[in-house]
């Protein structure tokens, strides 16, 4: 079995892959949910702050207009707050060049007045506390106000970009730049209010959480793999039992069977099937062994005769008549052995073919009966036995030579055993369900003690009488094997009024 992976390993691999993907997806989803929840909360906070700054800014602009109307000049922020300053130098060029934007800031734009609450937001302590940075630009990109102190490293990008400065939709927008989470909004007047929140610590917290989730996932996968191994191994144990049994069978121990207890149902069915197969294999081998040993046994006696005869003849000088006697005995014995081996060969062939219907052809049993009668006629005439034949054709499907052998053996036996002057009948009967072939004689019949054994291989009724007439004790066994090879049965029964009837019945399916 080159390049195959064991079922156990394969199952473990696939279950492992499945488990890994599942736990990975779960961990990733957990992480994403965590991150999403964090951004949602942060954005919500930033949004409210943007809204606060924006509304304050708007109010301040209104009041500024009012102040300018009254003073004709700008005022400093109320509590000494630095107030708006030019855009910090780290900022990229403000989007004055954005197409469609107003080209230049109004040169006389007055400083923005922020309410103390808003200014407090811009103050250090709140900014530190929330790690936020606020800034306001006008529609032209001029920085109107910004939190003091250190600005986000890496810079707060131009919030207007990639949005057109003309946006006045008051929608909250969010984006992340480096460590900063930014929320911004364009007011109706085109000003942009931006709040940035440094999320470095949050990001590292998220990263830590991701690590934790990852570690947990890996632990779960490893645990799962162990669990899979623990489940798969015992689940496959019956398979090991099956293969172990098959190996024992292959090694020649035909009595080996798969244990069927404590086996899952699917495998129990398989085991039962295999055990049945093993059993029939065992039986077939046992039959074969029995047959071989029977055959050897049957050959021992004639061999003993030939050996003894020849050794006796060779021991010392004998008369020509004695040598002739020896040769005659040897010849007769050898003829017997030939008959025996012929019968054995035929039986072996029928046994081999018993499995299939190969060699079966349409034929007429009447034809075969006539042929058999023709062959047996001299024997029947010699014994003065009357041989009766049927006269209606009986079409059938089977092996011609085997069926002829069946008829010859049955009718030949009947003629041989029946006393001279008896009657032997061959009968053919066709019904819708079966074809019956019978050979009936009115001879002495079969002794009840012999009846159960007459189809056994090498069984001879009244052995001493039959052995010399060349019977191998295998003829009826051969007939039975032929009948069975044609899906039929062979049975013996007394003929009403005396004698024996052999009946071969072939059901028509």
Partner 1 sequence: MRLLIVEDDTRLLRTLNRALKEEGYAVDCAEDGEEGLRKATELDYDLILLDIMLPKRDGLSLLAELRKTKKTPVIFLTARDTADDRVKGLDQGGDDYIVKPFDLAELFARVRALIRRSRNEPSPNIVLGDVTIDTLSKTVIVGGQPVILTAREYSILEYLAIHHKRIVTRSELYEHLFDDYEDTLSNLLDVHVYNIRKKLKTPLITTRRGYGYTIDR
Q: Which of 80, 300, 432, 497 binds partner 1 (CB under 8 A)?
A: 300
Using a 10 angstrom Cβ sphere, with 0-12 exposed, 13-18 middle and 19 or more buried, the burial of residue 203 is: middle
Nearest to 148 by CA among 125, 122, 174, 126: 122
- Closest CB to partner 1 among residues 209, 325: 325
- Closest CB to partner 1 among residues 262, 300: 300
Q: Which of 99, 316, 356, 496 binds partner 1 (CB under 8 A)?
A: 316
Query: Is 458:422 a contact under the CB 8 Å cutoff?
Result: no
Nearby residues of 478 by Cβ (< 8 Å), 6 or more positions away: 343, 346, 347, 350, 405, 406, 409
No. of H helices and E strands in the chain? 10, 12
Helix, coil or strand: residue 187: coil
Phi, psi torsion values for 145, nearest 5 degrees? -155, 150
- Under the criterion CB under 8 A, does residue 312 sit at the interface with partner 1? yes
Query: Rounded to whole angstroms, how far apart are CA atoms 161 and 173?
Result: 12
- Closest CB to partner 1 among residues 191, 294: 294
Nearby residues of 106 by Cβ (< 8 Å), 6 or more positions away: 140
- Closest CB to partner 1 among residues 292, 301: 301
- Closest CB to partner 1 among residues 5, 303: 303
Q: Which of 34, 59, 209, 332 binds partner 1 (CB under 8 A)?
A: 332
* Span from 106-114, 215-223, 295-303, 415-423 in contact with partner 1 (CB under 8 A): 295-303
Query: Rounded to whole angstroms, how far apart are CA atoms 350 and 372?
Result: 19
* Span from 33-41, 65-73, 191-199, 294-302 in contact with partner 1 (CB under 8 A): 294-302
CA 415 to chain centre: 62
Query: Rounded to whole angstroms, how far apart are CA atoms 29 and 443?
Result: 96
- Under the criterion CB under 8 A, does residue 308 sit at the interface with partner 1? yes
Give me the least distance between CB of 327 and partner 1, in Å please: 13
- Binding string, residues 447-486; x marks residues near partner 1 by CB under 8 A: ---------------xxx--xx------------------
- Under the criterion CB under 8 A, does residue 309 sit at the interface with partner 1? yes
Query: Rounded to whole angstroms, how far apart are CA atoms 321 and 380?
Result: 34
Q: From the CB of residue 367, how many other CB atoms can be counted at a distance below 10 Å?
A: 15
Give me the least distance between CB of 305 and partner 1, in Å please: 5
- Under the criterion CB under 8 A, does residue 315 sit at the interface with partner 1? yes
Q: Which of 301, 335, 357, 401 binds partner 1 (CB under 8 A)?
A: 301
* Span from 139-147, 242-250, 310-318, 344-352 in contact with partner 1 (CB under 8 A): 310-318
* Residues binding partner 1 (CB under 8 A): 297-298, 300-309, 311-312, 315-316, 329, 332-333, 462-464, 467-468
């Amino acid at each position: 079995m080159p390049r195959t992976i064991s079922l156990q390993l394969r199952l473990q691999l696939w279950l492992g892959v499945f488990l890994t993907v599942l736990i990975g997806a779960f961990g990733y989803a957990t992480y994403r949910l965590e991150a999403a929840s964090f951004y949602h909360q942060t954005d919500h906070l930033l949004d409210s702050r943007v809204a606060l700054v924006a509304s304050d800014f708007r109010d301040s602009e209104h009041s500024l207009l009012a102040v300018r109307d009254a003073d004709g000049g700008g005022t400093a922020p109320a509590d000494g707050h630095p107030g708006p300053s030019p855009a910090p130098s780290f900022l990229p060029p403000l989007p004055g060049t954005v197409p469609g934007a107003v080209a230049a800031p109004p040169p006389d734009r007055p400083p923005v007045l922020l309410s103390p609450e808003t200014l407090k937001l811009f103050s250090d302590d709140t900014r530190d506390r929330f790690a936020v940075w606020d800034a306001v630009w006008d529609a032209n990109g001029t920085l109107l106000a910004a939190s003091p102190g250190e600005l986000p490293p890496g810079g707060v990008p131009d919030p207007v970009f990639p949005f057109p400065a003309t946006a006045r939709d008051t929608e909250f927008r969010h984006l992340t730049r480096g460590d900063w989470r930014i929320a911004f909004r364009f007011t109706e007047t085109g000003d942009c209010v931006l709040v940035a929140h440094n999320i470095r610590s949050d990001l590292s917290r998220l990263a830590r959480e991701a690590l934790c989730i990852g570690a947990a996932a890996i632990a779960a996968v490893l645990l799962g793999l162990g669990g899979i191994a623990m489940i798969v191994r015992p689940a496959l144990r019956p398979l090991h039992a099956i293969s172990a049994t098959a190996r024992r069978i292959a090694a020649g121990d035909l009595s080996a069977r798969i244990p069927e207890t404590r086996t899952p149902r699917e495998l129990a069915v398989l085991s039962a099937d295999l055990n049945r197969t093993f059993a029939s294999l065992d039986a077939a081998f046992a039959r074969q062994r029995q047959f071989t040993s029977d055959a050897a046994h049957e050959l021992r006696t004639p061999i003993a005769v030939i050996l003894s005869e020849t050794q006796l003849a060779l021991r010392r000088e004998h008369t020509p008549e004695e040598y002739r006697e020896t040769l005659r005995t040897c010849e007769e014995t050898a003829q017997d052995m030939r008959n025996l081996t012929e019968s054995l060969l035929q039986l072996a062939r029928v046994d081999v073919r018993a499995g299939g219907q190969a060699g079966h052809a349409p034929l007429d049993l009447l034809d075969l009966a006539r042929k058999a009668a023709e062959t047996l006629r001299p024997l029947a005439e010699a014994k003065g036995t009357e041989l009766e034949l049927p006269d209606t054709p009986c079409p059938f499907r089977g092996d011609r030579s085997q069926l002829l052998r069946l008829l010859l053996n049955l009718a030949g036996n009947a003629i041989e055993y029946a006393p001279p002057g008896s009657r032997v009948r061959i009968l053919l009967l066709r019904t819708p369900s079966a074809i019956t072939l019978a050979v009936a004689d009115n001879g002495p019949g079969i002794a009840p003690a012999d009846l159960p054994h007459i189809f056994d291989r090498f069984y001879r009724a009244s052995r001493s009488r039959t052995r010399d007439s060349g019977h191998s004790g295998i003829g009826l066994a051969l007939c039975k094997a032929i009948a069975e090879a044609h899906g039929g049965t062979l049975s013996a029964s007394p003929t009403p009024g005396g004698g024996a009837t052999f009946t071969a019945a072939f059901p028509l399916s």
